[in-house]
Structure 1
Amino acid sequence: MKKILKNLALLLVFSLSFQQGFAKSNIIQLKGSDTILNLSQALTEQYMKQNKVRISVVGGGSGIGIAALLNKTTDIALASRSIKDKEIKIAKENGIDVQETILGFDGITIIVNKNNKIKNLDSITLGKIFRGEIKNWKELGGNDSPIIVLSRDSSSGTHEFFKEHIIRENNPKGTQEYGEKTLYMPSNEAIKKEVAKNGIAIGYIGMGYMDDSVKAISIDNISASSKNVLDKTYPIARAVYWYSDKNSSPEVQKLISFALSSEGQKIVNTEGFVPLK
């Protein structure tokens, strides 16, 4: 019995030492939006080159990131939508004073296959496509083919923003949903790859993921350019965020300051997003 108690005591000491060591470690955790995952990785990689700190960055979606912030399992939540009132309420109940940091701006880019003839859609028609009300490309002046609609999954902030502004036509009391045949994809890259190989698909991605493997179409005759996103003439433009606790560690605050610095904002631009200025 004495031997067992001694072993238990040693185990307890080891456990406490491990916890204390972990608590004192300088690992900064970031989690959330797939849309700004690459951007956040680029920012943190540069920051780590200049500072003795370890940083972990993982995706999962804006909702996942914000939930992690609320239950105190991440230092910074990556989000491509603004935090909701009910989430702020939960944060306060958990002793978290939410700090919102706008990293830059993004234009949700509507993409089709490079062989698709369509070059422009108006916002109302776009909503009808994603609600499943327009089902064939011939209704839009294209080929006689069904439209395959691709969307991000429900954990995505882009999913939420697109639903609010396009599917529900900016009506906060709207109840419209994505069409029942919508295919939900786990990432921007997944949507882009599917559109690139599927001649009848349509989807949306963050502008930072756009390349020549797919074709971007204008919305209301306005392209998703940096200028049009910054001056808010592009109809599906939005801010992208880091959310944290105002009472977070000095290291977390230093990282946020770096992201907002001229050096950090150059990285925002390099990664395909629109910097604050």
Structure 2
Amino acid sequence: MKRFSLALAALLVLGLAATSMAADIAVKGSTTVQPIMQKAVEAFMAHNKGIAISISASGSGDGAKALIDGSTPLAMLSREMKASEIKLAQEKGVNPKQIVVAYDCITPVVNSANGVKNLTMAQLKDIYTGKVTNWKEVGGADMAISVVSRDSSSGTFEFWNEHVLKKERVYARAQMQASNGAVAQVVGKQKGAIGYVGLAYAHAPGLKALTVESVAGSVENTLNGTYPVSRGLYLYTNGEPSGDVAKLVNFILSDAGQKIVASVDYVPVKGSAAKKGKK
């Protein structure tokens, strides 16, 4: 009888552990979306004590892979899922649903000691393809340009590559970084460096945000369509979100959640309906 009681107790413990793990949500993907998710999750868990949420940010490509292989119910992407990713997902029985949670503008940044204030789209392309290698060629000091870029798993890289480089190959000597934070850190330490980051990272210590075509990256200029390098920020779920995942998504899209979006220097979806088709 004692042995039976011990076995029953063990089963109950395992059952409770399984229930606890089932309630956990592992969110994975974009480092650009991470500031929104981090702050939203903190606020959400403060009012939902029984729900545990972890966040792992290593790039939009990794977020898409995690959704496809089932290791996350909620993927963060700073780009839309590719047709090839959607096809692979559907082959594995996953039906990706896109949810726009914010807008962002990708902001070129230089070291705060750099005298350059503005670059055109053409100048940015020439710098990032290696055609321009000295700041004096774009109105700055006689100083070599150190190009800092995101790596290829990043949605930010893909957007920059498509909209700025026009799909030309990035400069072979570019320093490829795994996150927005890493780009900010490298540029902040190198006087001749240039990088690009999401708006939430553009004012990190040691950085100066550049205007593009004389337009500053800002919430206002993203909404009015004048800033030329703007995009949507996304969450993806497998089909219509349900349970605790739906509660979290609904919180991010609520007034309180959208205030969090604004508080980390991104552009809330609400009030942005006229801003159509941001990618």
- Structure 1 and Structure 2 fold alike (TM over 0.5): yes
One-letter code aligned to 1:115: A
Per the TM alignment, residue 66 of structure 1 is displaced from its structure 2 partner at its CA by 0.7
Q: What is the identity, as a one-letter code, of the residue corresponding to 2:57? A: G
1:41: which partner in 2? 38
Q: What corresponds to 1:21 in structure 2?
A: 18
- Runs of 4 or more above 6 Å deviation: none
Residue 19 to residue 89, structure 1, CA distance change in 2 (3 Å): farther
Question: What's the counterpart of residue 261 of structure 2?
Answer: 268
Which consecutive residues of structure 1, in runs of 5 or more, have no partner in the other structure?
Answer: 1-9, 169-173
Partner of 2:176: 184
- For 1:195-206, list aligned pairs within 5 A: 195-206=187-198
Counterpart secondary structure, 1:25: helix
In 2, distance between residues paired with 1:110 and 1:204? Answer: 4
Partners of 2:240 and 2:221 lie apart in 1 by 36
| Residue in 1 that maps onto 2:274 | none
User: Map of 1:171-250 to 2, 5 A cutoff?
Assistant: 174=167, 176-211=168-203, 213-250=206-243
Query: Of 99, 102, 109, which aligns to 2:107?
Result: 109
* Shift in Å, 1:121: 0.8
Deviation at 1:192, TM superposition (A): 1.2
CA distance in 1, matches of 2:26, 2:265: 23
Q: Distance in 1 between matches of 2:245 and 2:19?
A: 16
Cα deviation, 1:169-215, whole Å, max 9, x if unaligned, reads: xxxxx4x1101110011221121122122110000111011225311
Rounded Cα–Cα distance in structure 2 between residues aligned with 1:215 and 1:248:
39
Aligned letter for 1:236?
V
**1:167 counterpart SS class:** coil
In 2, distance between residues paired with 1:222 and 1:243? 31
How many residues of Structure 1 are paired with residues of Structure 2 in the alignment? 259
The question of 1:85 aligning with 2:83 is answered yes
Q: Percent identity?
A: 38
Deviation at 1:248, TM superposition (A): 4.3
2:34, 2:21 → 1: CA distance? 26
RMSD: 1.9
SS at 1:109 equivalent: strand
The answer on 1:127 being equivalent to 2:119 is no
Deviates more, 1:226-235 or 1:263-272: 226-235
Q: State the Cα distance separating 1:90 from its structure 2 match.
A: 1.3
User: How far did 1:167 drift?
Assistant: 0.6
